[in-house]
Amino acid sequence: MTSQTYDPNNIFAKILKGEIPCHKVYEDDDALAFMDVMPQAEGHLLVVPKVASRNLLDADPAVLAKLYPVVQKLAVAAKEAFDADGVLVSQFNEAAAGQTVFHLHVHIIPRKESAPLRPHSGSMEDPAVLARNAERLRAVL
Ligand code: 5GP
């Protein structure tokens, strides 16, 4: 069984430390938002708290209280930026529930009636597309 502790070398911890790049959308003292590299729909982004939490199950409620207003702000921005019909907000806890990166993160996925959801952790998007979509989001914030 996998140890359910926080691994400080997970990929989002490395993004937070600036050790690997991301297409940044938003940052404040408590949260960072960036494009998902394997988007399930155009404009799919992730919001992470800066504090180390593995997922919702171990997170300090005070961290969640600061994170979710950012999730809301970015969900509204995503709907506008991508002219979406709706926005899917999802968050997985442990591998059995679909979690693959073990730093708490919230998915924000703009949805259009006409566009089926692509598979989770499917195919890598062209970095130029991710850069353009991050810019579209920043432009409406
Ligand atoms: P989870 O299954 O843990 O909820 O989702 C992890 C998400 O992170 C997936 O949607 C996956 O596409 C995305 N992802 C995995 N590695 C990277 C990465 O290095 N950079 C970014 N921006 N997203 C990643």
Query: Is 5 part of a structural domain of the chain?
Result: no
- Contact, 33 vs 76, CB < 8 A? no
Q: Give residue-wise pLDDT tens across range 69-128.
A: 999 999 999 999 999 999 999 999 999 999 999 999 999 999 999 999 999 989 999 999
CB count in 10 Å sphere of residue 55: 19
| The pLDDT of residue 1 | 45
Q: What are phi and psi of 29, to 5 degrees?
A: -65, -25
- Contact, 80 vs 140, CB < 8 A? yes
Percent of the chain's residues with pLDDT above 90: 96
User: How many distinct structural domains can be found in the chain?
Assistant: 1
Query: Is 4 part of a structural domain of the chain?
Result: no
100 lines ligand 1 (CB under 6 A): yes
* Cβ contacts of 100 within 8 Å, gap of 6 or more: 92, 121
> Could you tell me the pTM of the whole model?
0.97
SS3 40: coil
- Contact, 48 vs 103, CB < 8 A? yes
Q: What is the position in ligand 1's atom list of the atom closest to the CA of 98?
A: 2
Query: Is 1 part of a structural domain of the chain?
Result: no
pLDDT category of residue 3 using cuts at 50, 70 and 90: low
Query: Is 135 part of a structural domain of the chain?
Result: yes
Query: Is 120 part of a structural domain of the chain?
Result: yes
Query: Is 72 part of a structural domain of the chain?
Result: yes
Write the CATH number for 92.
Answer: 3.30.428.10
Percent of the chain's residues with pLDDT above 70: 98
Distance CA 112, CA 93 (A): 26
- Contact, 59 vs 98, CB < 8 A? no
User: Is 107 noted as a catalytic residue in this protein?
Assistant: no
Query: Is 41 part of a structural domain of the chain?
Result: yes
Strand segments (E) across the chain: 24-27, 31-35, 45-49, 86-90, 106-111
Of 23, 44, 105, 107, the catalytic one is: 105
Query: Is 2 part of a structural domain of the chain?
Result: no
| The pLDDT of residue 40 | 98
Q: Could you tell me the residue range of the domain that residue 85 belongs to? A: 11-140
